[in-house]
């Protein structure tokens, strides 16, 4: 009975260490933030661990850009910041994952799936099988479209 109790105590201690390490990683993930600045310095984007935009800074030069150019610059800069935050997330998770586990695939939700399992479904053309389809009728002009 003593061996059994010692084994239970050992398992509980392992469990507590695992929970403490998990809590530590959660705290690490909660404060991950990354910033990127556009090559021209006009835009700086800051994102959190999940890539959510948390801050956006525009210099005077940004206001001289055409709106479509500024929008593209903001999107690209935010994407750069999100990639940096993602890398930090992968590093934090890598310390608690089993050896050989890809943190990026885990975060994407594809860790144990084959590429064909995560590919978007192929759209099938709509097939009309009966004469009761009124979508293709142009009732005002007496014909079909």
Task: Specify the CATH number for the domain of residue 62.
Answer: 3.30.1310.10
Distance CA 41, CA 127 (A): 52
Look at residues 93, 65, 64, 75 and name the one whose alpha carbon lies nearest to residue 36. Answer: 75
Residue 123's φ and ψ, nearest 5 degrees, are -70, 130
Please give the tally of structural domains in the chain: 1
Higher pLDDT, 88 or 145: 88
pLDDT beyond 80 at 44:
yes
Residue 35's domain spans which residues? 31-97
- What's the whole-model pTM score? 0.64
What pLDDT, on the 0 to 100 scale, is given for residue 142? 61
Contact between 62 and 42 under an 8 Å Cβ cutoff? The reply is yes
Q: Is the residue at 42 inside a domain?
A: yes
Please give the average per-residue pLDDT across 53-65, as a whole number. 96
Q: Is the residue at 145 inside a domain?
A: no
């Amino acid at each position: 009975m003593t061996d059994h109790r010692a084994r239970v105590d050992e398992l509980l201690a392992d469990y507590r260490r695992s929970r403490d390490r998990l809590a530590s990683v959660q705290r690490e993930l909660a404060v991950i933030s990354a910033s990127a600045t556009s090559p021209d310095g006009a835009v700086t984007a800051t994102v959190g661990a999940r890539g959510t935009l948390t801050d956006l800074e525009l210099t005077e030069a940004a206001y001289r850009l055409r709106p479509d150019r500024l929008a593209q610059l903001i999107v690209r800069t935010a994407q750069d910041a999100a990639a940096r935050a993602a890398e930090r997330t992968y590093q934090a998770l890598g310390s608690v994952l089993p050896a050989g586990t890809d943190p990026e695939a885990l975060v994407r939700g594809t860790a144990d799936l084959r590429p064909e399992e995560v590919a978007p479904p192929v759209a099938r053309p709509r097939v009309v099988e009966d004469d009761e389809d009124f979508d293709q009728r142009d009732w005002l002009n007496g014909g079909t479209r």
